[in-house]
Chains A and B, each alone.
Chain A
């Protein structure tokens, strides 16, 4: 199975900050990497697919990059509604493993 390592596991930031979350995979997955946002008590929401493509309806302050084994999710200017937990997921091979999550909190 492909192992996912997300960092940091938690992050405190302020509205307007630029934030970067990283995800590393145990083997090369090309661009088979997705990012999700989850708020407490809610289902996850797809933000980025294929490493860098923005899902329809997702604000342009979210962006993704990377290929191979190293990926990043960047939020260019944090908004109050962005405080949530973020997960990366690989879809290169089953099981389609998730990272352990990054909880983004208000500073």
Chain B
């Protein structure tokens, strides 16, 4: 059974940092692109970043470029999101997600339960 379990969320002051982790199990982690998607309270979904199987390619939404870094440790089946210079607008539930390619089209087929990040003084 595929499982994605996020951790590391919490309350942080504006300008602070947090590192989110995602523990993956039930599949060959090193064979999949992985993503982070966030959802501000009462709002819609926002794609944040993704990373290739070997970590050699990373993509970010403009609003987090230069502040967030996605990384992975395939030996430990883990995905990470280092978040620096946090702002109030980064407050959200952050989901770890597995990406797939079906018929040559990318999609996200498994999601974690999410971890809440609150940026507030």
- Distance between B38 CB and nearest chain A CB, rounded to angstroms: 11
- The size class of the interface chain B forms with chain A is 20 to 34
- The size class of the interface chain A forms with chain B is 20 to 34
Most B Cβ at <10 Å: residue of A38, A46, A53: A46
Is A97's beta carbon under 8 Å from chain B? yes
Is B56's beta carbon under 8 Å from chain A? no
Tell me which residues across on chain A come within 8 A of B102, comparing CB atoms: 49-50, 53
Pairwise interchain contact B114-A43, C-beta atoms closer than 8 A: yes
Number of A-B pairs, beta carbon distance below 8 Å: 72
Tell me which residues across on chain B come within 8 A of A100, comparing CB atoms: 44
Pairwise interchain contact A98-B111, C-beta atoms closer than 8 A: no
Is A62's beta carbon under 8 Å from chain B? no
Pairwise interchain contact A87-B45, C-beta atoms closer than 8 A: yes
Is A12's beta carbon under 8 Å from chain B? no
| A interface list, Cβ under 8 A from B | 1, 31-34, 36, 38, 43-46, 49-51, 53, 55, 87, 89, 91, 94-101
| B interface list, Cβ under 8 A from A | 35, 37, 44-47, 50, 59-62, 95, 100, 102-109, 111-114
